[in-house]
Amino acid sequence: MKDDNFLRENNARHLWHPMAAPADMQTNAPKIITGAEGVSITDIDDNTVVDAVGGLWCVNLGYSNNTVKEAIAKQLYDLPYYSAFGGTSNPPAIEASYAVREFFEPDGMVRIFFTSGGSDSVETCLRLARQYHRLRGEPTRTKFLSLKKGYHGTHFGGASVNGNNRFRINYEPLLPGCFHMPSPYTYRNPFDETDPAKLAQSIAKVTEDEIAFQGSNTIAALIMEPIQGAGGVIVPDSSFMKLLREICDRHGILLISDEVITGFGRTGDWSGARHWGVQPDMMSTAKGITSGYFPVGAAMMNQKVADVFENDTTGEAGIYHGYTYSAHPVGAAAVIATLAETQRLDLKTNAAARGTQLYEGALKLADKYDIIGDVRGGHGLMTGIEIVSDRTAKTPMDMDTMKRIHQTVYEAGTMVRLGAHNVLMSPPLTITEAEVDSILAALDKGFAAA
Ligand SMILES: Cc1ncc(COP(=O)(O)O)c(C=O)c1O
């Protein structure tokens, strides 16, 4: 490894960072993270802070799980790579598919297609949804419905169903035939509706209306996050996902639950859909599937979808889609170990308890600071705090102030993430009560400084 001076001098010079402007990264050099232990990270200047971001909503097991690390290291020596494209397989991939299926069987998932991450998993679900309808003899079903404020990764399909302009405008034109319904965002919505259950009803009506307008036989799938993550931790009413499930059923539309963040315990249950009592037709996952220790994702299908592919008589059921690293043996070994550890440590139970603590602590901060416009969470370890410069007018806080808050919170011992004028938190699911308290204390200092 090169020395610190080399790293500082070359920081952001040659590396373009995702979700950042290259010139801005050169002026405001990114923090160089050099190590991690438990739920904390250490930077090149030897600052150690609690990672309230969990890497990027992904390090569910914290940074020190030796079982997963050893499983990865062992597999590197046994078989570092082999392709799973039709014709070959490998033992960890077979075992991982069994383990993932067992994990998500209560959600109705029976088939697993491994990918290299969340965007890949979303793309896989969208493509297979179209192919499913073709195989069923309804090739007109090509369109997709999704929610504003949703985040579904950055491939062209995912960006097309994405509900945030920032991820779309520079890359347009995107996939035709994608239509966006309102987000279940009680704090701001086009109906000025503050009651979450009524808002859910209004969005359901708009969705039915859009389906009637498009023609239900043109729509392949509706994709949604059970709790919108990157869009600001938007928690819908408990009726919302069920309402959309019923609408999909009435119109022959597949429901894809994008569980890239919400899978594997983050919501306080093993999946977000299960949290709301819904069984989707497909699920996209990544992140917690390996706790970020290796890049893996998975798209999953229920029996209804699997049957259409597996009992096909048209000869068109070949899945001409996949990634070089689909079912990567080292990734698969990471999946097997991560799922075993996730269950052994019962991460969902700790996520529920610590999530409530973080949410209630954030609500107390809202009583103290006028700049807090809205606090969202309370369902596991996903918390969003929306910052405003005027509480009555709900004016979004300017980004200079947001960056100042971020830095002050960091100096007080906690790494948080900014999503526009929201402070977003998704710490490891192994976090302790004392560590959540230290996050809240750091936020207190950050808001006081602002
Ligand atoms: C709900 C959701 N879907 C898809 C993605 C894309 O995943 P990745 O960044 O692994 O491609 C993300 C990433 O945060 C996500 O939150």
What's the CATH number where 175 sits? 3.40.640.10
pLDDT tens by residue, 155-193: 999 999 999 999 999 999 999 999 999 999 999 999 999
Contact 315, 137 (CB under 8 A): no
The mean pLDDT value of the chain amounts to: 98
Based on the domain organization, do 325 and 197 belong to the same domain? Answer: yes
pLDDT of residue 188: 98
Average pLDDT over residues 5-16: 96
Domain boundary, last residue among 293, 314, 344? 344
What distance, in Å, lies between the first and last C-alpha atoms of the chain? 38
pLDDT-derived band at 44 (thresholds 50, 70, 90) equals: very high
Query: Which three-class secondary structure string do you get for 208-275?
Result: HHHHHHHCHHHEEEEEECCCECCCCCECCCCCHHHHHHHHHHHHCCEEEEECCCCCCCCCCCCCHHHH
Clarify whether residues 113 and 198 are in a common domain. Answer: yes
Q: Across residues 303-321, what is the average pLDDT?
A: 98
Residue 11, in any domain of the structure: no
Domain span at residue 161 reads: 68-344
What is the pLDDT, as a whole number, of residue 313? Answer: 96
State how far the Cα of 380 lies from the Cα of 172, in Å rounded to an integer: 35
**Ligand 1 binding pocket mutation candidate from 116, 120, 122 (most atoms within 8 A of CB):** 122
**Could you tell me which residues come within 8 angstroms of residue 410 by beta carbon, excluding any fewer than 6 positions away?**
31, 47, 49, 416, 442
Q: Is the CB of 266 under 6 A from ligand 1?
A: no
Question: Does residue 70 surpass a pLDDT of 90?
Answer: yes
Is there an atom of ligand 1 within 6 Å of 151 CB?
A: yes
Query: Count of residues for the chain?
Result: 450
Q: Are residues 292 and 433 in the same domain?
A: no
Name residue, tokens 């390996």: 290
3 part of a folded domain: no
Mean pLDDT of 111-127: 98
**122 CB less than 6 Å from ligand 1?**
yes
pLDDT at 1: 79
Identify whether residues 172 and 285 lie together within a single domain.
Answer: yes
Instruction: Determine the Cα–Cα distance for residues 295 and 115; give it in Å rounded to an integer.
Output: 9
DSSP notation for 351-373: HHHHHHHHHHHHHHHHHH-TTEE
Identify whether 278 is part of a domain. yes
Task: Say if 26 falls within a structural domain.
Answer: no
Final residue belonging to a domain, choices 309, 344, 379: 344
Bridge pairing between strands 395-396 and 383-390: antiparallel
Tell me, using a 6 A CB cutoff, whether residue 224 lines ligand 1. Answer: no
Q: What is the dihedral of CA 281, 100, 353, 415, to 10 degrees?
A: -100
Number of domains in the chain: 2
My answer on whether 289 and 350 are in the same domain is no
Q: How far is ligand 1, taken at its centre, from the CA of residue 119, in Å?
A: 6
How do residues 360-373 score in pLDDT, each as one tens digit?
A: 999 999 999 999 99
**Would residue 236 count as lying in a domain?**
yes
Does 354 share its domain with 245? no
Which ligand 1 atom is nearest residue 295's CA? 10
Q: Is the domain of 252 the same as that of 387? A: no
What are the tens digits of pLDDT across the range 241-292?
A: 999 999 999 999 999 999 999 999 999 999 999 999 999 999 999 999 999 9
- Express each pLDDT in 395-433 by its tens digit: 999 999 999 999 999 999 999 999 999 999 999 999 999
Q: Residue 154's pLDDT is what?
A: 97
Contact 408, 329 (CB under 8 A): no
C-beta 118 within 6 A of ligand 1: yes
Establish whether residue 419 lines the binding site of ligand 1, counting it when its CB lies within 6 angstroms of any ligand atom: no
